[in-house]
Amino acid sequence: MSETITVEELNLLIEQTYKVEKEFSELKASYEHLQDTVEKVVEFLPNAIWIVNHVDNTVFLQNSKARGLWALLRLLELKEEDYEINYESRDYLVKSSIYQDKVMFSVIDITEQKRRENLATMGQMAAHLSHEIRNPIGSISLLSSTLKKRVKPENLPIVEEIQSSVYRIDRIIKATLMFSKGVQTSPSKFRWSQLLEALHTAIGYYGHTKDITFILPEGNFTMNADKDLLEMLFTNFIANAIDAIELDENDDGSVEIIYQKEDEFHKFYIFDTGIPIEDEKGLFEAFNSTKVKGNGLGLVLSQQIAEAHGGYVKLADDQRKGFEVAFMV
């Protein structure tokens, strides 16, 4: 004889069923919330993250940064120590670990960090060499000036070439030392004519073989800035322009500096007819130079000098090849 379930027992069973279903729904919602939180945390991380099934190497979880580096995943290995890997001209630091049946890879782009470290090392080495070179260069400069007064007229071009070469080396030494120490300004009021005179002297020292026309502002306006730093800035641009014209196919060329005063800025537009700029993206990157004579610091320092005066350096918004340079009034 079968037992009969009472109404009370049936209601209790139904109530327990609803209770279990409710607990299951809450547990499922909690799990989905936890899963969603984990996915959001993984997505928020600055690293590319892969969580891979150890058995079949299928991807269990990844963030968008990992999806952007999908091809890199096949190069990764599970190692106890962190290691670096180069992929498509970028450097990455890889961390890996294993938990139960999952392997986690964390990959972060360290290209810029390594570049800064390399720049710091190069700057220290360059500064040390510059200190070592400075004294003998000073002696050569002094002796060449003495020699110029006594040399035969037919040998004068040789001495002038020595002086021109010494001037180039001295510019490199000054730029290197300034880059290693940082730009520090000592502003004072001066007339543009004073700076113009210094630029004409620099042009005379910076030798060139082609017939180059220099068109410089003649207005005698007043500036409140560090004259020595601005002399270095404009000399850098003029030297770059001369080098570009020397590499051009034409037998002559021109360098033009245009001045405008706009609101609180002194603005200068510097144009030349030399060869085009090869690498616009790397223009203001230290030690990045395509010139045989360059050390890759001229434009970097020029930008730092302008910024130290509350201004900027950028490519000119003009069909001609050139730069726009601005300083606070």
**What is the spatial distance between Cα 83 and Cα 94, in angstroms, rounded to a whole number?**
5
**What is the spatial distance between Cα 316 and Cα 225, in angstroms, rounded to a whole number?**
22
User: What's the confidence (pLDDT) of residue 106?
Assistant: 93
Q: Running along the chain, 329 residues long, what does each successive block of 10 average in pLDDT?
A: 71 82 82 73 83 89 88 90 90 92 92 80 72 81 87 86 80 73 87 92 84 92 92 92 92 94 92 87 70 68 92 87 90
User: What's the confidence (pLDDT) of residue 175?
Assistant: 74
**What is the spatial distance between Cα 172 and Cα 183, in angstroms, rounded to a whole number?**
15
Digit-coded pLDDT (tens) for 206-232: 878 899 999 999 888 999 999 989 999
User: What's the confidence (pLDDT) of residue 97?
Assistant: 92
pTM score: 0.59
User: What's the confidence (pLDDT) of residue 309?
Assistant: 93
CB contact at 8 A, 166 and 144: yes
User: What's the confidence (pLDDT) of residue 215?
Assistant: 95
Taken in order of first residue, the domains within the chain and their CATH numbers are 7-110 (3.30.450), 111-182 (1.10.287), 183-329 (3.30.565.10)
What are the φ and ψ backbone dihedral angles of 70, each rounded to 5 degrees? -55, -40
What are the φ and ψ backbone dihedral angles of 238, each rounded to 5 degrees? -65, -45
